[in-house]
C-alpha cells in the first residue's frame, strides 16, 4: 500500500481538516465512495426492486452488485444472505428480536459487549423471557475461553459476541467460539462492527450464523449496515419491520413473507448508501485486508512506543500493541477523558473519542469512568501518530497529575 496515494484519495485529508483518529466511530470516505453517491443522485435517483423503468433498473442492478461484492469480500457464495439495513445496531436488534427463542432459552454474551449487543438481549430477557449468561473477560479485557466454556450447556440456544472490541481493540477467537457453540447445539451471532473494517473476515471459514456490521466504519456512506445470515437461519427469523417490499401475497386479512433477504428490507432503501458501500468494498479489496491489518498494527506499535515512558498515562486493555487492532484507549491521571479529547483538538487539531464508548458494563465493572480513545485506519500516516504522541506527552506533562 502506498500511503501517499491512499491519503490523496480522502478529501478531508487533502484539505488539511485535521488529524482524524476517530475511525472506530466512523471512517473517512475516499473520492470513489463519494463519487458513487453523487453519481446516484445526479444520474439515476430512483428506487430499486420495484419500478421497471431504466433508472430503476440501474438501481436494482446496483443493489444486486453490492450484494455480490459483499459475498465475495466476506468469502461466501450466496449474495442473498446479505441484508441491507442502517447500521450494525439494527442487525443485532433484528437477531435479538427475530430469532426463534422461547421462554427459558439461554443466550450467552460477554461482559465486554458494546451496548448494541448488550441492550437488545436485556430487552429479550424482559420481553421474551430468555435467560442471559455472561462470560467474564480477563482483567485486561481479553476474551477468556475458559469462562466462555463454563457458560456453555445444552440449554444455550444463542451465543452473541463481538468479533473485535471497540475499547481495547482485542479480537475474540470467533472460530473456536463457533465450534464450541455448535457442538452444544447453539447458533452464533457476531457483532462485527470493529472487525469487518480492520481484519480479513471469511464468513464461510468462521462458520458464524449471523454477522452484523456497519458500512460507515469501513469507508462506506453514513447509515449503511449489513446483516449476514446463513439462509436457513434468516428463514427462521422474524423481521424487525414489515411493510412494502417484505411480503409476498397480501389480502385484507393476511400476508406471507417475501423470500430472504427482501423480508428484512422494509420500505425504500438508502440506495445511495448501498451503491457507495460497493465502492468502499472495492477500495478495501484493492488494498487487501491483510495490508489494512498490517498498517493498523504498524501504527499501533508506533503509538505504544510514543507513550510508553509516561508514568501518568494508562492504557486500557492489554500491553501488547499487536492485540489492539487500530484502537488505543487510555487515561491520564488527573484529567477526564473529555478534557483529553478537547485538549488534543484545540492544541493540534487531533480528533479522538472520549467517554464510555457505549460500553458501560466494561467500564463500570472495572471502576473506570471512561477513557480517551484514539483509533486509526488505513489513511493515517506515521507522522500523524507522532504528532498525536507528542501532544499527549505535552498534555500529560503540563496538565496531568
Ligand atoms: C463493537 C461495536 N458494536 C456495535 C456498534 C454499533 O455500530 P453502529 O452505531 O454503526 O450501529 C459499534 C459502534 O461503535 C461498535 O464499536
* CATH (residue range 32-286): 3.40.640.10
Does the beta carbon of 325 lie inside 6 Å of ligand 1?
A: no
Beta carbons within 8 Å of 330's beta carbon, 6+ residues apart? 307, 313, 314, 315, 316, 371, 372, 373, 374, 392
Contact 225, 197 (CB under 8 A): no
Does the beta carbon of 166 lie inside 6 Å of ligand 1?
A: yes
Residues catalogued as catalytic = 358
Q: pTM surpassing 0.95? A: yes
Residue 95: enclosing H or E segment and its boundaries? Answer: helix 88-98
- The DSSP code sequence of 177-195 is HHHHHHHTT-EEEEE-TTT
Does the beta carbon of 224 lie inside 6 Å of ligand 1?
A: no
Comparing C-alpha atoms, which of 367, 315, 326, 375 is closest to residue 350?
375
Does the beta carbon of 214 lie inside 6 Å of ligand 1?
A: yes
What is the residue whose three cell numbers read 458513487?
A: 36
Comparing C-alpha atoms, which of 56, 78, 8 is closest to residue 283?
8
Does the beta carbon of 354 lie inside 6 Å of ligand 1?
A: no
Ligand 1 centroid to 87 CA: how many Å?
Answer: 8
Does the beta carbon of 87 lie inside 6 Å of ligand 1?
A: yes
pLDDT < 70 positions in the chain: none
pLDDT at position 153: 96
3 state SS of 5? helix
Comparing C-alpha atoms, which of 94, 117, 47 is closest to residue 241?
94
Q: Which residue has the least CA distance to atom 12 on ligand 1? A: 193
d(CA 167, CA 181) in angstroms, rounded, equals 25
Ligand 1 centroid to 384 CA: how many Å?
Answer: 25
What is the residue whose three cell numbers read 475511525?
A: 23
Rounded to the nearest 10 degrees, the angle between the axes of helix 31-43 and helix 54-73 is: 160
Atom of ligand 1 nearest to the CA of 163: 1
Exposure of 367 by Cβ count < 10 A (0-12 exposed, 13-18 middle, 19+ buried)? exposed
Strand partners, 171: 164
Does the beta carbon of 89 lie inside 6 Å of ligand 1?
A: yes
Ligand 1 centroid to 216 CA: how many Å?
Answer: 10
Exposure letters 233-271 (e unless 16+ CB within 10 A, then b) = bbeebebbebeebbbeeeeeeeeebbebbbbbbbeebbb
Does the beta carbon of 209 lie inside 6 Å of ligand 1?
A: no
Ligand 1 centroid to 343 CA: how many Å?
Answer: 25
d(CA 18, CA 7) in angstroms, rounded, equals 13
pLDDT at position 365: 86
Atom of ligand 1 nearest to the CA of 216: 10
Strand partners, 350: 19
Its CATH architecture, for the domain 3-27+289-398, is Alpha-Beta Complex (3.90)
Ligand 1 centroid to 193 CA: how many Å?
Answer: 5
Ligand 1 centroid to 6 CA: how many Å?
Answer: 25
Strands 187-191 and 313-316: unpaired
Does the beta carbon of 269 lie inside 6 Å of ligand 1?
A: no
Q: Residue ranges per domain, the chain?
A: 3-27+289-398, 32-286
Contact 352, 305 (CB under 8 A): no
The pick from 88, 143, 199, 215 for probing ligand 1's pocket by mutation, whose C-beta has the most ligand atoms within 8 angstroms, reads: 88
Where helices occur in 99-245 by DSSP H, the ranges are 119-128, 145-151, 174-183, 203-206, 231-236
Please determine whether the domains at 3-27+289-398 and 32-286 fall in the same fold group of CATH.
Answer: no
Atom of ligand 1 nearest to the CA of 113: 1
What is the residue whose three cell numbers read 428463514?
A: 235
Does the beta carbon of 112 lie inside 6 Å of ligand 1?
A: no
Output helix, strand, coil percentages for the chain, rounded to the nearest 5.
45, 15, 40
Instruction: Kindly calculate the radius of gyration of the chain based on its CA atoms and give it in whole angstroms.
Output: 22
The pick from 22, 89, 280, 326 for probing ligand 1's pocket by mutation, whose C-beta has the most ligand atoms within 8 angstroms, reads: 89
Ligand 1 centroid to 398 CA: how many Å?
Answer: 34
Amino acid at each position: 500500500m502506498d500511503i501517499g496515494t491512499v491519503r490523496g484519495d480522502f478529501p478531508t485529508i487533502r484539505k488539511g481538516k485535521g488529524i482524524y483518529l476517530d475511525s472506530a466511530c466512523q471512517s473517512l470516505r475516499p473520492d470513489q465512495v463519494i463519487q458513487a453517491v453523487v453519481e446516484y443522485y445526479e444520474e439515476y435517483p430512483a428506487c430499486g426492486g420495484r419500478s421497471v423503468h431504466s433508472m430503476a433498473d440501474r438501481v436494482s442492478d446496483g443493489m444486486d452488485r453490492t450484494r455480490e461484492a459483499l459475498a465475495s469480500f466476506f468469502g461466501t457464495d450466496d449474495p442473498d444472505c446479505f441484508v441491507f439495513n442502517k447500521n450494525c445496531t439494527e442487525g443485532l436488534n433484528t437477531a435479538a428480536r427475530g430469532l426463534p427463542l422461547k421462554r427459558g432459552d439461554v443466550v450467552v454474551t460477554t461482559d465486554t459487549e458494546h451496548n448494541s449487543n448488550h441492550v437488545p438481549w436485556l430487552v429479550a430477557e424482559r420481553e421474551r423471557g430468555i435467560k442471559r449468561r455472561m462470560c467474564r473477560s480477563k482483567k485486561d479485557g481479553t476474551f477468556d475461553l475458559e469462562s466462555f466454556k463454563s457458560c456453555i450447556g445444552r440449554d444455550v440456544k444463542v451465543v452473541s459476541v463481538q468479533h473485535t472490541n471497540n475499547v481495547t481493540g482485542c479480537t475474540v477467537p470467533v472460530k473456536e467460539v463457533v465450534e464450541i457453540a455448535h457442538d452444544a447445539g447453539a447458533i452464533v451471532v457476531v457483532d462485527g462492527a470493529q472487525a469487518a473494517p480492520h481484519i480479513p473476515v471469511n464468513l464461510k471459514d468462521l462458520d458464524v450464523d449471523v454477522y452484523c456490521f456497519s458500512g460507515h466504519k469501513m469507508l462506506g456512506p453514513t447509515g449503511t449496515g449489513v446483516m449476514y445470515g446463513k439462509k436457513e437461519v434468516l428463514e427462521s427469523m422474524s423481521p424487525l419491520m414489515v411493510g412494502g417490499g417484505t411480503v409476498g401475497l397480501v389480502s385484507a386479512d393476511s400476508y406471507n413473507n417475501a423470500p430472504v433477504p427482501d423480508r428484512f428490507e422494509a420500505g425504500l432503501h438508502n440506495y445511495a448508501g448501498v451503491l457507495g458501500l460497493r465502492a468502499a468494498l472495492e477500495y478495501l479489496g484493492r488494498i487487501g485486508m491483510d495490508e489494512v491489518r498490517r498498517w493498523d498494527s504498524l501504527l499501533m506499535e508506533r503509538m505504544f512506543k510514543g507513550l510508553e515512558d509516561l508514568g501518568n498515562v494508562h492504557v486500557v486493555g492489554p500491553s501488547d500493541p499487536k492485540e489492539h487492532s487500530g484502537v488505543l484507549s487510555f487515561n491520564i491521571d488527573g484529567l477526564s477523558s473529555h478534557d483529553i479529547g478537547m485538549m488534543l483538538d484545540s492544541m493540534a487539531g487531533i480528533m479522538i473519542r472520549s467517554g464510555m464508548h457505549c460500553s458501560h458494563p466494561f467500564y463500570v465493572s472495572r471502576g473506570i469512568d471512561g477513557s480517551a480513545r484514539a483509533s486509526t485506519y488505513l489513511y493515517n500516516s506515521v507522522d500523524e501518530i507522532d504528532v498525536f504522541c507528542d501532544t499527549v506527552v505535552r498534555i500529560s506533562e503540563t496538565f496531568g497529575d
